[in-house]
Amino acid sequence: AATIYTFVSIGSIPALDLLVGSETSAAEMRAEAGRGFRGIELIRNLFMLTLAPLVSFLCLISYRAFGSRNWRNLFFLSFALTVVALTYNLEKGPIVYYVLFLFIILQLVGIRPSVVQMAAFGGVVVLLVLIGYFLTYGTAGLVLSFENGPVSRLVTTSIATLMLHIQTFPDQVSFLGGRSLPSLYTDFLGLDDGWIRSGRIVMELYNPNGVAAGVAGVMNALFIGEAYANWGYFGVLVSWFVVGSYVGISSNVFLNSSKSVISVLFYIVMIKFNMNTLFGGFTEYVYSINLAFSLVVIASVAIFSYKGSYDRRRLFAEKGHFSWRLSDVLLKTAPQIPMPAKLDKSEAKGEF
C-alpha cells in the first residue's frame, strides 16, 4: 500500500517511464521523485523504503530456519516488492546494497556459496549497475569512467566532498552549531532552525546550476563531514566515539547472542544502518527514525512470536524457561541447533 501511495504521489513510475521513453531526463525524474515528492514522507520512508526490505530479510532468515514453503513464497513476493520500492527514484545504490545484504544473510545463516554461485552473484551486481547507468545516462559505457562511474562514487566522491566541507566551513559559511539536528533538538537547544544539511549547502555553493535546474541534491561526505560542519574539529572527535559505539555495541550484542531469526535480523539491520550512514550525515547517528522503526518492528516480531503460535523454544525460550531480561526477550532463543548443509524441513529448527 505504501509503495502504491508513493507512486501515486509522484504521479508516475519513473523506471517504467524510462523504459517506454520519456522527454524528461533521468536526472530530472530522480530529483522530482526525491526532493519533489508531494506525499507524506514518513509513509514513504518507513513503510516502503524501510519496512519492505526488512520484511524480505525476515522471510529469508525464517525460511532458512524453519524450512516452510510459505516463508519461501513470502520471500519471493517481498523481494519483488522491495526491488520496485528501492528503484522508485532511479537510484542505483540501494538495489545494489540490498543484493549485498541478502548475500550477507546467506553467509550468516550458514549457506556457503560455491565459486560459480559467487561469480553469478557478482554478475547480478554488475548487471544491476549497468542497467542503472543505461537507464540514467542512455549508455552503460560510463560504468568504466573514473570520473562518472561507480569507482568514482566509491573511491573519490566521499573524500572529495569531505574536503569541500572543510573548505566551506567556516571560511565561506559559519559553523552550523547543531542546526543539522532535527527541529526537536534545535528547539530544545534554543536554535533558530533545524534540519539544515551541510551536504545541501555545499551543493548549492559548488553546483548552483545543478541546484537551480532541479537535478542536484546534496554532496554527502563521510559522517565526519557533517560533524565538522556543525562543531568543527570537536565534532569530528565526538563523531568517532559515537559511530564507533554504534558499530561496537551492535557487533558485540550479536556475537554474544545465540544465532537465531531475531539476532540475525537485528545484526543485518545494524549493518544496513551503518553502511547507509557512514557516507551520509552524522545526525542520523543522533536521531534516526528509520533505525528506531526497524528496532520496534524487530521487537514486535520477537514478542509476537513468543506470545503467538510459534514453537516458543524455537524463537525465545532458553532451555525451556523464559527470561524477562531485555536482551533475552529480543535476542536469545533456543539452545543452538546446527543447521544441515542442505535444508531438510523435517530437521529445520528455529536456530541455525
For 201-251, write each residue's pLDDT tens digit: 999 999 888 888 766 778 888 899 999 999 999 999 999 999 999 889 888
Q: Supply angle C-alpha 124, 20, 30, rounded to 5.
A: 70
Query: For 111-125, what is the mean pLDDT?
Result: 80
Q: Which residues pair with 321 in a beta bridge?
A: 318
The CB density around residue 30, as the number of other CB atoms within 10 Å, is 20
Query: What is the distance between the alpha carbons of residues 200 and 244, in angstroms, rounded to a whole number?
Result: 25
Burial 240-276 (b: 16+ CB within 10 A, else e): eeebeebeeebeebbeebbbbbbbbbbbbbbbbbbeb
pTM confidence score: 0.79
Environment class of residue 70 by beta-carbon count within 10 Å: exposed (0-12), middle (13-18) or buried (19+)?
exposed
| Residue 118 pLDDT level (bands cut at 50, 70, 90) | confident
Q: Which residues pair with 234 in a beta bridge?
A: none
All residues at 6 or more sequence positions from 254 whose CB lies less than 8 Å from its CB, including other chains: 263, 266, 267, 270
Matching residue, cell 533521468: 26
Matching residue, cell 513464497: 73
Matching residue, cell 557533517: 226
pLDDT of residue 233: 94
pLDDT of residue 321: 34
Q: What is the mean pLDDT of the chain?
A: 77
The larger pLDDT score, comparing residue 1 to residue 348, is at 1
Asked if 253 and 331 count as a contact pair (C-beta separation under 8 A), the reply is: yes
Give the three-class secondary structure for 232. Answer: helix
pLDDT of residue 35: 63
Task: Provide the Cα torsion 135, 140, 145, 151; round to 10°.
Answer: 70
Matching residue, cell 537535478: 215
pLDDT of residue 343: 39
All residues at 6 or more sequence positions from 323 whose CB lies less than 8 Å from its CB, including other chains: 329, 332
pLDDT of residue 326: 38
The CB density around residue 87, as the number of other CB atoms within 10 Å, is 20
| pLDDT tens figures, 64-113 | 888 889 999 999 999 999 988 888 877 777 888 898 899 889 888 877 77
Q: Which residues pair with 318 in a beta bridge?
A: 321
Amino acid, res. 223: F
| pLDDT tens figures, 37-51 | 677 888 888 999 999
| Residue 319 pLDDT level (bands cut at 50, 70, 90) | very low
The CB density around residue 296, as the number of other CB atoms within 10 Å, is 10
